[in-house]
Amino acid sequence: MSETVLRLTGIEKGYKLGRPNEVRVLRGADLTLAAGEVVALVAPSGAGKSTLLHIAGLLDTPDAGRVEIGGQDLSAASDRARTAARRGMVGFVYQFHHLLPEFTAAENIVLPQLANGAGPAEAEARAVALLSAVGLAARTDHRPAALSGGEQQRVAFCRALANAPRLLLADEPTGNLDPATSDTVFGTLMGLVRETGLSALIATHNLDLAARMDRVVRLEAGRLVPG
């Protein structure tokens, strides 16, 4: 049986807007991601995709339920342990690249590695290897403003993979790109994910992209159901 990389059990989350108003966003969401599995997360706007991704990536805590990554139950772990687990095991990609504008493409990939304890030479070599893998070997010294939208997003993928995570969480990773670029850049992301064998949960509104993943889950009334 293949190893479980992410397990969410009975996740509940609401936002209080002042009593008695409370938005119950997640109402017992369950999800298991096996090693190497790529799952599309599909839901209408406002259904709670970002909330779920933040909880799965240890950026937010659920009101109830269990979050396990790489077999470790991190639900009740200290902030310090959660930060360490996030840095070492989880990579994030968002709709916007969020690259640091004053640093080059390579430096944007080096910095998270240094923060995670890597040496500068090792970090630099990994940044160059990742950029080469997404076809950007000639862009290592470019700042984000000198890159196209698709190139910026490919650098963001490399940054997400900088610390060799087990799990990639992506929130509309190609949502800012025109359809043709989105298609190509998504192909690059899938290539990287398959090559590294990591598990991924990718939120998308694009059903064509969803169909290219191993499985689709839908967020409906706060629970995850097969798509």
Asked if 167 and 91 touch (Cβ cutoff 8 Å), the reply is: yes
Neighbours of 32 (CB within 10 A): 14
Residues linked to residue 23 through DSSP beta bridges, in sequence order: 15
Q: Tell me the closest approach of the beta carbon of residue 65 to ligand ATP, in angstroms.
A: 15
In the block, tokens 């396990």 appear at: 68
Map the footprint of ligand ATP across residues 5-24, applying CB under 6 A: 15, 23
2 contributes a contact to ligand ATP by CB under 6 A: no
User: Whole-angstrom Cα distance, residue 134 to residue 118?
Assistant: 22
- State how far Cα 128 lies from the chain centre: 21
- Return the axis-axis angle of helices 120-133 and 149-160, rounded to nearest 10°: 130
- Shorter beta-carbon distance to ligand ATP: residue 124 or 171: 171
46 contributes a contact to ligand ATP by CB under 6 A: yes
202 contributes a contact to ligand ATP by CB under 6 A: no
Q: Tell me the closest approach of the beta carbon of residue 57 to ligand ATP, in angstroms.
A: 13
Q: Tell me the closest approach of the beta carbon of residue 73 to ligand ATP, in angstroms.
A: 23
- Shorter beta-carbon distance to ligand ATP: residue 13 or 154: 13
Q: What burial letters (b/e) apply to 149-169, b meaning 16+ CB within 10 Å? A: bbbbbbbbbbbbbbbebbbbb
Residues linked to residue 41 through DSSP beta bridges, in sequence order: 203, 217
What Rg do the C-alpha atoms of the chain give, in angstroms? 17
- Per CB under 6 A, the list member of 25, 170, 177, 189 interacting with ligand ATP is 25
- Shorter beta-carbon distance to ligand ATP: residue 6 or 130: 6
Map the footprint of ligand ATP across residues 47-86, applying CB under 6 A: 47-51
In one letter, which amino acid is 98?
A: H
Stretch that binds ligand ATP, among 39-47, 110-118, 130-138, 148-156 (CB under 6 A): 39-47
Stretch that binds ligand ATP, among 45-53, 59-67, 116-124, 126-134 (CB under 6 A): 45-53
Q: Tell me the closest approach of the beta carbon of residue 53 to ligand ATP, in angstroms.
A: 8
User: Whole-angstrom Cα distance, residue 96 to residue 199?
Assistant: 21
Q: Binding residues for ligand ATP, per CB under 6 A?
A: 15, 23, 25, 43, 45-51
